[in-house]
Chains A and B, each alone.
Chain A
Amino acid sequence: MDQKHIRNFSIIAHIDHGKSTLADRLLEATETLTPKEMREQVLDNMDLERERGITIKAHAVTMYHQAGNGERYQFNLIDTPGHVDFSYEVSRSLAACEGALLVVDAVQGVEAQTMSNVYLAMENNLVLIPVINKIDMASARIEEVEHQLMELLGVDEKDILKVSAREGIGIRETLEAVVSRIPCPNGNPDAAFRALIFDSTFDFYRGAIATIRVKDGRVKTGDAIRFLSSGKTFETDEIGRLKLGRFPVDNLQAGEVGYLIGGVKNLKDIKVGDTITLAEKPADPLPGFRDPKPMVFSGVFPTDSDDLTELRAALERLQLNDSALIYEPESSAALGFGFRVGFLGLLHMEIVQERLEREYNQSLITTIPNVEYRVFCTDGKMLVIDNPTALPPVMKIDRIEEPVIDSQIVTPSEFVGNLMKLAQERRGVYKNTTYLDSSRVTLHYEFPLAEIIFDFYDKLKSSSRGYASFDYEFLAFRESDLVKLDILINGDPVDALSMIVHREKAWEWGSKLTSKLRELIPRQLFEVAIQAALGSKIIARTNVKPLRKNVTAKCYGGDITRKRKLLEKQKEGKKRMKQLGKIEIPQEAFLAVLKIE
């Protein structure tokens, strides 16, 4: 199809503003899927995505629209993840488009992710079509939200579409706006082939599969292609368009979106953001490629050390599907052999953990997550540390730098006081305040990343009755007065419980962590001392009293079966305990910090 009849666009929205439902309506209205194929939120095909109501991986789908002007258009809808952890994937998806529908909930209004998505879209020079969704809701504040959008985007009221995706209101108008307002692709169909990889998946039969946007030229089956970042060449086995499944075609040309299979065994060879060219006619790379960078690290250990091989295999397979996941072997005195895993953020970490447990049936111990630190040693060397146990002795450290983020909190103005208090507790540095309208405010803050990877979202929500939203991006590494807090159990340091904290917070963390551990560590056959220490200095201490009595009074003929069954049940519970020397510690204890109030 010639480029004039192609429209490539995304839907961007804050979480729960109805992006997936709108996508469903567009698929229905263009008859892209048969009614049988049509399930709610069809683009989210991972179980976890459906349960959490978020789109984890980007997806693309091609549909055809018979427009009011009588002509037929090819629409390529590129779905994007809504969560900040996946902002790199969002930005790659946007780079494959010429425009985007910016969906804003008529009740909630503009949120932090709406704004960061707008900024991302602007960086990619996209044309934005503002859409107010959920206009059927009784509590919809259409006029207010219009004003917010006019303020944010500098658009006229008449440019804003009013939609209810749930009720199917305004869908036709939306499709027409895509035709009339989003520019067609302007690649050169006669130039050398260049395509952007904006997503990748792994198929056990076909290998790694790239989802691509062709910028210039064309590619056909059998072409030898090259991935510019690695320089590796492959032969194209199959190319095609994506609907709910894969539909092979002979070629894809400038402006089109589709998939490419080239016998690539390893997902690592298909890097999101990379450029594909023909092997014999390499062209300049498209701008913007970088490896996704993990921000949060945590140790992942098998509960039973015999399961290490299985865990490794599970991580390998998971990585085929999730190229942002990185890991390397780690060994802990307390937990034995496992892996140090890097995640894009805390949500990514939870998702990986859940997928390992659910899809790969692993029983895991995950340790306290931390960020990456730059440690400048007295001998002039700089170490990058993603594990508290790797911190050199204090006298060898000149200074430590931690990652700092630039963030925006969007909130109704009545919660500004609460949120500023929270920001202060989290070592936030206030930058400025801007007003979205008379009642909604954006607070700009810089935070140490370490301060927001724990329960920051929960706290943000509870400080604002659920109304505030938050988004951030990495800013810089900055020097900070950081120390290593160790936990000792019966006098022995437990490396897996160490953490790096700001000196001023060490005492508070020490006492909270020890009392949380006292709740989580069950009573043993003897007294257990739990201490927190900075170097050799003990800063908090508590005890778990020994068990005194646990015995059944009567055990005769009819009681024996019951007794054995109870033992069997309790044995299962015991297996989930980690034996540290003579002490049994439940898995949850290693994540105790996350539960601290």
Chain B
Amino acid sequence: MAGLYVHVPFCLKKCPYCDFASVPVQSDLQAEWLQAVRAETVLRAPDWKPIRFDTLYFGGGTPSLLDPADVAGLIDLFSGSFQWARNPEITLEANPGTLSGSKLRDFRKAGINRLSIGIQSFRDEELQLLGRMHDAAEAENSLARTFESGFENVNADFIYGLPGQTPAHWSQTLGKAVAFPLTHISAYCLTWSGKTELGRKIESGEVEKPSEAVQSDLFLRTSSFLAERHFQHYEISNFSLEGRRCRHNEGYWKGNPYLGLGPSSHSFTGRERYWNVSDTREYCRMLNQGLRPCSGSETLSRNDIRLETIALRLRTSEGLPLAMIQNKTDFCKVFLENGLARIRGDRLVLTENGFLMADELALRLTV
């Protein structure tokens, strides 16, 4: 099974913590982009013809800025260009301010069956710090409209571990989240790079630097709070009700193939990975000339695949087959002794404390 990803690079404005490829929305560029994605689909289709897809994911950027009719058109094109399994998961990322009731209904009609909404927080001052366009009230209203319009499989994205955020603040946001019938919650601990506006503020001391201790504490609180409400912690930043995991993202962690369309998107065939140019105009220009918009590729060696498998599987509640790390029993013992991992069947599975150290542990298992 494979996943199809479409990168929608448009946003109303750039958020100060975001380092994804995105540009302010412009209607002419949007039209060009749509043409280019259609052209890329045609260009890539022959190579991907033998592969069966079971998920489609519109990510961004802000895909909910798209006209639902265009989304419908793309879904039609994809369904004719590739082979599909029954009941594919079709997700669209959305931002609260862009979701009117009619638009939501039109997206549903277009075939979207899973919505992922960038709520981030239910506290106004945190939303302001994050530079979001919406406030807490709008976040709640948009969620309410989403469920009213008939969506059943809905994720909300949150960010925690913010400058100045206390456990009480975060509990308040989480409490409001679970008051909605969400099936999935993605909770990302804030990381920052000096390249983003928020990162610069943190590094210059303009806002308080979130401490490792507080971030760790919030991480543990999140999973225990959500576990009491029947959310399974199935990946470091992802929680879902039974049967409601994000199948598309699980594909990445299992090493399944994926095809990425749109600027800056990545594709993986199982051996080869390639990625598109990230500049939207350049992407459109290349496709306009009938060129593949590729900006780089790599062929993975067996060892590369081993490294990725270890790093990715350790991040999930499925864990890592012990057979893959037979020569690392000394390290495993240290993990077990220090409560960072446990053995379940023939797999090594990280504990909550182990999840917090996943990068460090992966390093030890791959050296």
> Known interface pairs A564-B304, A568-B307. Does A553 touch B237 (Cβ–Cβ under 8 Å)?
yes
Q: Does A1 have its Cβ within 8 Å of any Cβ on chain B? A: no
Q: Does B10 have its Cβ within 8 Å of any Cβ on chain A? A: no
> Known interface pairs A557-B252, A561-B266, A563-B311. Does A551 touch B212 (Cβ–Cβ under 8 Å)?
no
Contact with B along A533-574 (1 / 0, CB 8 A): 000000000000011111111111110110110011011001
Least CB distance from B366 to A in Å reads: 6
Complex Cα distance, B252 from A526, in Å, reads 31
Least CB distance from B40 to A in Å reads: 16
Least CB distance from A524 to B in Å reads: 9
Is the pair A551, B355 in contact by a Cβ cutoff of 8 Å? yes
Complex Cα distance, B312 from A552, in Å, reads 11
> Known interface pairs A561-B266, A567-B366. Does A551 touch B236 (Cβ–Cβ under 8 Å)?
yes
Complex interface: chain A residues within 8 A of B237 (CB): 553-554
Complex Cα distance, B364 from A554, in Å, reads 20
Complex interface: chain A residues within 8 A of B363 (CB): 567, 570-571, 574
Is the pair B311, A567 in contact by a Cβ cutoff of 8 Å? yes
Binds A, one of B43-51, B70-78, B279-287, B334-342: B334-342
Complex Cα distance, B211 from A549, in Å, reads 10
Complex interface: chain A residues within 8 A of B362 (CB): 567
Least CB distance from A424 to B in Å reads: 43
Closest to A557 in B: B266
Least CB distance from B176 to A in Å reads: 21
Choose among A554, A558, A560 the residue that contacts B308 (Cβ–Cβ < 8 A): A560
Complex Cα distance, B367 from A575, in Å, reads 8
Least CB distance from A550 to B in Å reads: 4
Choose among B188, B304, B330, B360 the residue that contacts A547 (Cβ–Cβ < 8 A): B360
Complex interface: chain B residues within 8 A of A551 (CB): 189, 236, 355-360
Is the pair A557, B215 in contact by a Cβ cutoff of 8 Å? no
> Known interface pairs A550-B357, A560-B312. Does A555 touch B252 (Cβ–Cβ under 8 Å)?
yes
Least CB distance from A556 to B in Å reads: 5
Complex Cα distance, B173 from A7, in Å, reads 92
Least CB distance from A559 to B in Å reads: 9
> Known interface pairs A547-B360, A567-B362. Does A556 touch B367 (Cβ–Cβ under 8 Å)?
no
Is the pair B275, A558 in contact by a Cβ cutoff of 8 Å? yes
Least CB distance from A163 to B in Å reads: 54
Q: Does B265 have its Cβ within 8 Å of any Cβ on chain A? A: yes
Complex interface: chain B residues within 8 A of A582 (CB): 330, 334
Complex Cα distance, B365 from A567, in Å, reads 10
Is the pair B315, A555 in contact by a Cβ cutoff of 8 Å? yes
Q: Does B191 have its Cβ within 8 Å of any Cβ on chain A? A: yes
Is the pair A525, B307 in contact by a Cβ cutoff of 8 Å? no
Least CB distance from A95 to B in Å reads: 55
Choose among B249, B258, B273, B357 the residue that contacts A525 (Cβ–Cβ < 8 A): B357
Complex Cα distance, B353 from A548, in Å, reads 8
Complex Cα distance, B268 from A552, in Å, reads 21
Interface size on B, residues (CB 8 A): 48
Q: Does B228 have its Cβ within 8 Å of any Cβ on chain A? A: no
Complex interface: chain A residues within 8 A of B356 (CB): 548-551
Closest to B161 in A: A553
Least CB distance from B44 to A in Å reads: 15
Least CB distance from B90 to A in Å reads: 17
Closest to B275 in A: A558
Is the pair B366, A571 in contact by a Cβ cutoff of 8 Å? yes
Contact with A along B218-255 (1 / 0, CB 8 A): 01000000000000000011000000000001001100
Is the pair A571, B219 in contact by a Cβ cutoff of 8 Å? no
Complex Cα distance, B213 from A561, in Å, reads 29
Complex interface: chain B residues within 8 A of A564 (CB): 304, 307-308, 311
Choose among A549, A557, A563 the residue that contacts B260 (Cβ–Cβ < 8 A): A557
Complex Cα distance, B189 from A553, in Å, reads 6
Closest to B255 in A: A560
Least CB distance from B172 to A in Å reads: 21
Complex Cα distance, B212 from A551, in Å, reads 11
Complex interface: chain B residues within 8 A of A525 (CB): 334-335, 338, 340, 357, 360-361
Q: Does B264 have its Cβ within 8 Å of any Cβ on chain A? A: yes
Complex Cα distance, B306 from A357, in Å, reads 32
CB within 8 Å of A: which of B262-306?
Answer: 264-266, 268, 273, 275, 298, 304
Complex interface: chain B residues within 8 A of A563 (CB): 308, 311
Q: Does B216 have its Cβ within 8 Å of any Cβ on chain A? A: yes
Complex Cα distance, B237 from A557, in Å, reads 15
Choose among B219, B253, B273, B359 the residue that contacts A552 (Cβ–Cβ < 8 A): B359
CB within 8 Å of A: which of B177-226?
Answer: 188-191, 212-213, 215-216, 219
> Known interface pairs A567-B362, A567-B363. Does A549 touch B340 (Cβ–Cβ under 8 Å)?
no
Complex interface: chain B residues within 8 A of A561 (CB): 266, 273, 275, 298
Is the pair B258, A553 in contact by a Cβ cutoff of 8 Å? no
Complex interface: chain A residues within 8 A of B273 (CB): 560-561
Contact with A along B138-181 (1 / 0, CB 8 A): 00000000000000000000000000000000000000000000
Closest to A566 in B: B359
Complex Cα distance, B304 from A553, in Å, reads 21
Is the pair B366, A556 in contact by a Cβ cutoff of 8 Å? no
Least CB distance from A103 to B in Å reads: 52
> Known interface pairs A525-B334, A525-B338, A555-B252. Does A549 touch B212 (Cβ–Cβ under 8 Å)?
yes
Complex Cα distance, B330 from A547, in Å, reads 18
Complex Cα distance, B330 from A525, in Å, reads 13
Q: List 25 A-B contacts (CB under 8 A).
A: A525-B335, A525-B357, A526-B338, A546-B338, A547-B357, A548-B357, A549-B212, A549-B215, A549-B216, A550-B356, A550-B359, A550-B360, A551-B355, A554-B188, A555-B312, A556-B252, A558-B266, A558-B275, A560-B252, A560-B308, A561-B275, A563-B311, A567-B307, A571-B367, A582-B330
Identify the A interface with B (CB < 8 A).
525-526, 546-558, 560-561, 563-564, 567-568, 570-571, 574-575, 582
Task: Please name 10 further chain A to chain B contacts, defined as beta carbons within 8 Å, in addition to the given A526-B337, A549-B216, sorted by A numbering.
Answer: A546-B338, A547-B360, A551-B358, A552-B236, A554-B237, A557-B5, A557-B260, A561-B273, A564-B307, A571-B363
